[in-house]
Structure 1
Amino acid sequence: MKYTLITGASSGLGREFAIQCARMGMHIILIALPGGNTASLAGQLMDEYAVDVQVFEFDLTDAAELEKRVNEIIRCYPVDFLINNAGIGGTEAITETPLEKIDRIILLNVRSTALLTRQLIPHLLRHDKSYIMNISSMAAFTPIAYKTVYPASKAFISVFSLGLKEELEGTGISVSVVYPGPILTNSGTARRIISQGLKGKMGLLPTPEIAQKAIRMTLAGSPVIIPGIMNRISHFLMQLLPTGFKMKLVSREVKKEISYSI
């Protein structure tokens, strides 16, 4: 029995990854914060798809706890697929953003991804073929005012993943990085996306479609995955624009989200 490990699995894209992987017959390890009803999701997946689902609830930003729990996981379960999905963001002027929030974005989006990946690589190398999928964002492609730290953290995920892919070439570990566009993960993000009108909805895809495409292309060995034709067109066009111009263009639209942020 081999397992797929998914972080941030209690809701949003992480929850959908769990559903899609179970549907494909994969056994799963779900990592999420306590209180996210992850155990209930695990029970549903086991009943419906006859797969084994293990749940580990802890805070990924606690480095000591992360190391301890991952050691426990790799001691008991053969993981051959890692999905680094956990992440947080938000829209707020930098002067209004609490220091604790900035710290948490960096700890979760950047540090925990790097530490978890590093800890699992020797374990993944034991398999003839294994996979790492890291979730970045379309926001990684340009600096954005009123988000600042979030796109920077997702740019890290992008560069980290591509460097890791090159370093692990020929080892049996395939590394992919996914750049989703807007996702209706909760009421807060829904309000922010709707506030942007047609521009905000461009590139919007159903969460199951994003998860299905990301898993399928990761298992096919695709290093760079941009779900949705509109997102791929947008990425191509944005590459043609000067950095200063596209920063102003995107930041002007993002500023509209502030009043809808929670």
Structure 2
Amino acid sequence: MKSIRYTLITGASSGLGREFSVQCATMGMNIIMIALPGSNMASIAQNLAAEYKIATKVFEFDITDSILLIEKMNHITENFEVDFLINNAGIGGTASITESSLEAMDRILQVNIRSMVSITQMLLPHLLKHSQSHILNISSMAAFTPIAYKTVYPASKAFISSFSLGLREELQDSNLSVSVVYPGPIMTNSGVSIRIMGQGARGRIGLLATADIVRIALKQTRLNKAVIIPGLWNKINHRLMGILPLGLKLRIVSRAVKKEIAIK
């Protein structure tokens, strides 16, 4: 079992995570899929294994349970060889901070930051053993500016960006390459899709199909690229936001996001 190499994907049951699972399978990569309980991952994994003749393993648990996370990761590192880590699991939300619960904000921090760092740190010794290995962390275009009515989410994505690039520099003399991808708007579920479409043309700027984002991210990660911004408009937007004064871009982005509250 140890001789087989695996790609580990968190948040693998839907959205980008599910697409990462599918595209990795089509590339002949064996995959370990981590998702919440009740995600129907066993059926998805079986179908991928049968169609693409790969090995698949499924672990359904809540990664915010730190004790369970350590237990599951110890099991994985003891029984499987992982040479590609995709830290995809993430959550967000749009609401006034005065109307957000402490539990909701803490869960964003636990999923987007603490669990991502813990999984990465626990896997690092095993990733470094290989002649070539990769880490792909999922940030967001939201990482490039603070945003009112989201507050915690863009801050968590900025953390992922900083953590990833710092880790890449630290490991520059190793065979482990770290990449970070900054997707724009993604229609990950019906609620998000309604809010994006409700913003009209502005909300759809930078919108790419999930399959395109994953294809670009995987290709550029395997080429050892550090910063991955999928889509021409997102690249242009990043340049423009880098030129604008902080106060101005904060107002522009926050006014657009505020509309999401009215659409809910």
TM range (shorter): over 0.9
Matched, 1:66 2:69: yes
Letter in 1 for 2:196: I
Matched, 1:109 2:112: yes
Matched, 1:88 2:97: no
Matched, 1:152 2:155: yes
Equivalent position to 1:188, from 191, 194, 198: 191
For 1:1-262, list aligned pairs within 5 A.
1-261=4-264
CA distance in 1, matches of 2:70, 2:175: 24
CA distance in 1, matches of 2:161, 2:182: 8
Letter in 2 for 1:68: E
CA distance in 2, matches of 1:12, 1:115: 22
Letter in 1 for 2:235: R
CA distance in 2, matches of 1:157, 1:123: 21
CA distance in 2, matches of 1:17, 1:158: 19
Equivalent position SS for 1:256: helix
CA distance in 2, matches of 1:75, 1:162: 28
Equivalent position SS for 1:257: helix
Contact 1:105-1:150 within 8 A present in 2 as well: yes
1:46 to partner: Cα distance? 0.7
Contact 1:188-1:260 within 8 A present in 2 as well: no
TM-score by length of 1: 0.99
CA distance in 1, matches of 2:99, 2:242: 31
Report how many aligned residue pairs link the two structures: 261
CA distance in 1, matches of 2:40, 2:263: 26
CA RMSD between the two structures: 0.6
Equivalent position SS for 2:59: strand
1:37 to partner: Cα distance? 1.1
Deviations 1:153-187 (A, max 9, x none): 00000000000000011111000000000001100
Equivalent position SS for 2:185: coil
TM-score by length of 2: 0.98
CA distance in 2, matches of 1:236, 1:10: 33
CA distance in 1, matches of 2:175, 2:71: 26
Instruction: Determine what percentage of the aligned residue pairs are the same residue.
Output: 61
| Structure 1: segments with no counterpart, 5+ residues | none
CA distance in 2, matches of 1:44, 1:254: 38
1:259 to partner: Cα distance? 3.1
Equivalent position SS for 2:7: strand
1:90 to partner: Cα distance? 0.7
1:44 to partner: Cα distance? 1.2
Letter in 1 for 2:19: E
CA distance in 2, matches of 1:225, 1:147: 23
Equivalent position SS for 1:128: coil
Letter in 1 for 2:208: L
Moved more, 23-32 or 192-201: 192-201
1:260 to partner: Cα distance? 3.4
